[in-house]
Chains A and B, each alone.
Chain A
Amino acid sequence: MANFYSDNKDLKFHLEHPLMKKIVELKEKGFIDKDKYDYAPVNHEDALDSYDKVLEIIGDICGNIIAPNAESVDHEGPEVINGHVKYARGTQENHEALIKAGLYGMSLPREYGGLNFSMVPYVMAAELVSRADAGFGNIWGLQDCAETIHEFASKDIKDEYLPRVVKGETCSMDLTEPDAGSDLQSVMLKATWNEERGVWLLNGVKRFITNGDADIKLVLARSEEGTKDARGLSYFVYDKRCECVKVRRIENKLGIKGSPTCELVFTNAPAKLVGERKLGLIKYVMSLMNGARLGVGAQSVGICEAACREAQKYANERAQFGKIIINFPAVYELLTVMKAKLHGSRSLLYETSRYVDLYKAYGFIAEDRKLTAEERTEQKNAQKAADFFTPLVKLFSSEYSNQLAYDSLQIHGGSGFMKDYPIERIYRDARITTIYEGTSQLQVVAAIRGITTGLALSKIREYESSPFKPEHEYMQKQLVEMTNAYEEAVTKVTSVADVEYVDFHARRLVEMAGHIIMSYLLLIDAQRNDDYALSADVFLKYAASENNLRYSYIMNFDAKDLGLFKHITKESVPV
Chain B
Amino acid sequence: MTRSLKIVVLAKQVPDTRNVGKDAMTEQGTVNRAALPAIFNPEDLHALELALRLKDNNPGTTINLLTMGPSRAADIVREGLFRGADGGVLLTDRKFAGADTLATSYAISCAINKLNPDLIIAGRQAIDGDTAQVGPQVAEKLGLPQITYAEEVLSYENNEITVRRRLEHGVETVKGKLPLVITVNASAPTCRPRNAKQLMKYKHAKTLSEINSQNNDYTEFCQSKDYLNITEWGANDIDGDEEQFGLKGSPTKVKKIENVVFQAKESKKLSEADPEIESLMKELIANHTIG
Contact = CB atoms under 8 A, between A and B. Distances in A.
Contacts of B200: 39-41, 50, 53-54, 115
A57 B196 contact: yes
A53 B201 contact: no
A100 B192 contact: yes
B95 to A, nearest CB: 34
A100 B201 contact: no
A38 B201 contact: yes
B233 interface: no
Q: Which range holds the interface residue count of chain B?
A: 10 to 19
Which size class do A's interface residues fall under?
Answer: 20 to 34
Contacts of A40: 200
A49 B195 CA distance: 15
A57 B194 contact: yes
Which of A39, A57, A60, A65 has its CB near the most chain B CB atoms (within 10 A)?
A39
Contacts of A50: 199-200, 203
A103 interface: yes
A46 B221 CA distance: 12
Interface in A225-262: none
B225 A115 contact: no
B201 A101 contact: no
B193 interface: yes
B197 interface: yes
Contacts of A54: 196, 199-200
Interface in A26-60: 38-42, 49-50, 53-54, 57, 60
Given A38-B227, A42-B221, A49 B203 contact: yes
Contact of B197 (A41, A42, A102): A102
Which of A40, A61, A100 has its CB near the most chain B CB atoms (within 10 A)? A100
Given A38-B227, A42-B221, A50-B203, A100 B197 contact: no
A97 B192 contact: yes
A50 to B, nearest CB: 5
A106 B225 CA distance: 25
A142 to B, nearest CB: 19
A97 B190 CA distance: 11
Interface string B195-214: 11111110100000000000
B203 A53 contact: yes
Contacts of B218: 42
Contacts of A65: 193
Contacts of A42: 218, 221
Contacts of A41: 200
A50 B200 CA distance: 6
B203 A102 contact: no
Contacts of B199: 50, 53-54, 57
A287 B184 CA distance: 50
A481 B140 CA distance: 82
Nearest to A41: B200
Contacts of B227: 38
Contact of A115 (B192, B196, B221): B196
B4 to A, nearest CB: 20
A102 B225 contact: no
Interface of B: 192-201, 203, 218, 221, 225, 227
5 contacts: A49-B203, A50-B199, A53-B200, A102-B195, A103-B196
Given A38-B201, A49-B203, 8 more contacts: A39-B196, A41-B200, A50-B203, A53-B203, A54-B196, A57-B193, A97-B192, A102-B198
